[in-house]
Chains A and B, each alone.
Chain A
Amino acid sequence: MRITLNGEPHDLAGPLSVTALLGQLQIDPRRVAVEHNRIVLKRGSFDATLVAEGDEVEIVNFVGGGDGN
């Protein structure tokens, strides 16, 4: 199945939870925020939120910055 992950197509074996997706990507869930189909998820709902075919997922973290960019 194919999803859009951070703006790029991304292939996955099948539907999975956000927690499982982060695990596959080796991303520490405590360091990121996740948006699923344009809804920002609470960290507590990573387990219960299922990512399915065609979904849009954004995973962001903090990077260095002050103003502008």
Chain B
Amino acid sequence: MNWEYESPRKAYGETLIALGKEREDIVVMDADLSTSTKTAMFGKEFPDRFFNVGLQEQNMMGIAAGLARSGKTVFASSFAVFATGRAYDQVRQSIAYPKLNVNIVATHGGVTVGEDGASHQMIEDLGLMSGLPNMRVIAPLDSNEVRRVIRFVAKEHGPFYVRLTRTALPNLTSEDDEFEFGKGRLMRDGADATIIALGIEVSYSLLAAEILKKEGYDIRVINMSTIKPIDKDIIVKAAKDTGAIMTVEDHNIYNGLGSRVAEVLVENYPVRMHRHGMKDRFGRSGKWNVLLEHYGMDDKGIAKEMLAFLKEVKK
């Protein structure tokens, strides 16, 4: 496909600068990863509103809470593994419980972190954050959507978790598209089965649908940027229309997109479904695209998984 690739992290940094120019109350924090998360871009522009606290993710979340309690709109960034894992209790007690204006924007979500290996590949964050009352969870599918999502969470009251990936993503939406919070997006229509995907896996799912088309299957692809609250209607409609649903995510198949979709289906319109992603295993080092291939999460792997699933469904 003729896609234009763009770094979601850079889009984040640029949007922070734009917001910083518009609003005095925007404050940005980081924990010694600002050149990677791109919050350094904001820091350079607004040194007085940028707090890089060093290697103190827990302290960062607590300080973010104190700033928010004093009227600031805070963006706190780190890698997903540290922002949600290392600082989970601080996020729970000091941000989610008091419902403060802290937007946790974590980069490096999923196994596509690559060479750094399992210690840095966060595949549990969507579950950790979705389990918190008051917390809303978004994983934008491309850099254009990153810009819209960052603007959205900046104007909404209360905490958000926004998950970004390390790698560049193809822009599947245009610059003037709108972000609909809590709404899935139909990326490709189809009648035989549905893939519901997240983040980086959306483009691979679209490519997989092309492969499956050659096999004679007409596959619907839905992007589910908002994990919480999840779009019940689009899931139930897909179940009714296509009768089989597969989820694909760069995340553990437990507690992420697959689990959320399963909850909706079981409670509303049970059809056969299959969860694809990291199957309850830690990742390993390797180039991000090689890893996707390794775990069957690239286009060919997704197509193969879907074919096996369809075979099972038709028995």
A and B: interacting chains: no
